Amino acid sequence: MVSTYVPPGWPSQVHPPGSDRFEDTALAWLLELVPPEYRRYGVLRRYPIALARMARHHVSASVEAAREGFRTARVDLGDVVPPHGIESVLDTYRREGARLVALLQGIELVETALRGLAEPDDPAHRRPFTPKL
């Protein structure tokens, strides 16, 4: 019997670990999060855990870039954007930063579930995903 429990923050586009379509939906979702050029690399389709790792690094870099942009916006834009515009830029960074952090948490959950599949090419070595509460 496959559990349909997923931890908080689990992406709605990805089926629960252990379901028939888990890896397929995880792969499709992860491909949406990385640059389109990543679709050209067959190794990332063959080993979704590698794609999850790359997506985690990509989104993590975006989180750091948003944080840096937020920290420096007033200084960098102060001479060319009026104060109300700066506030709007900062609000954009706040919203986008929160979205990116949530996305990163979802990627980490999916990556953990994919790592629960010990050997992708050997069904005898698969381990079930056990969420930590």
- Say what the pLDDT of residue 6 is: 84
- Say what the pLDDT of residue 116 is: 84
Burial 17-28 (b: 16+ CB within 10 A, else e): bbeeebbebbbe
Q: What is the pTM of this model?
A: 0.82
- Say what the pLDDT of residue 124 is: 46
**Banded pLDDT at 118 (limits 50, 70, 90):** very low
**Banded pLDDT at 131 (limits 50, 70, 90):** low
pLDDT of residue 1 exceeding 50, the answer is no
- Higher pLDDT among residues 38 and 122, named by residue: 38
- Say what the pLDDT of residue 24 is: 95
Residue 94 to residues 56, 68, 81, 82, 100: CA-CA distances in angstroms?
20, 12, 18, 19, 10
Rounded mean pLDDT, 3-9: 81
